[in-house]
Amino acid sequence: MIKLIFCLRRREGMPRAEFQAYWRDHHAPLVASFAEVLRIRGYVQSHSFEDARLAATADARACVVPPYDGVAELHFDSVEDIVATGASAEAREAGRRLLEDEARFIDLANSPLFWVNEHRIV
């Protein structure tokens, strides 16, 4: 299993609650509708929130990077599965539609993504 980790920041001027509602209620069903053609085995949204009682965790690490509005995890069986979707016109169209929708609510230039191999410890 490999994962795509996408650290999301909302578009400028968009309230966090509006961003998270759009992401959960509009974008998530769109991702789900394309899961089979894109060979997505799992999709998890983690929405950020603020609670002053938890601020010490970041403060203790001298974190200076502004927090993300959420993190998306997309799970795939293999690199080969991901590469294989490039040969499918249907998968390329699905990817285009997802990216087009992401541009409506995500600050794409400030929302890094990267691939990981998960090593579950606990």
What confidence tier does 82 reach under pLDDT thresholds 50, 70, 90? very high
Strands (E), the chain: 2-8, 42-47, 70-76, 113-117
CB-based burial of residue 9 (10 Å sphere; 0-12 exposed, 13-18 middle, 19+ buried)? Answer: buried
CA distance 96 to 35: 14
Average pLDDT for 66-86: 94
CA distance 53 to 48: 14
Question: In this structure, what are the phi and psi dihedrals at residue 42, rounded to the nearest 5 degrees?
Answer: -160, 150
Would you say 3 and 118 are in contact if contact means Cβ atoms under 8 Å apart? yes
- Domain ranges across the chain: 2-50+68-117
Would you say 67 and 48 are in contact if contact means Cβ atoms under 8 Å apart? yes
What confidence tier does 83 reach under pLDDT thresholds 50, 70, 90? very high
* CATH architecture label of 2-50+68-117: 2-Layer Sandwich (3.30)
Kindly report the average pLDDT of the chain as a whole number.
95
pLDDT for the residue numbered 11 = 98
81 has a pLDDT exceeding 90: yes
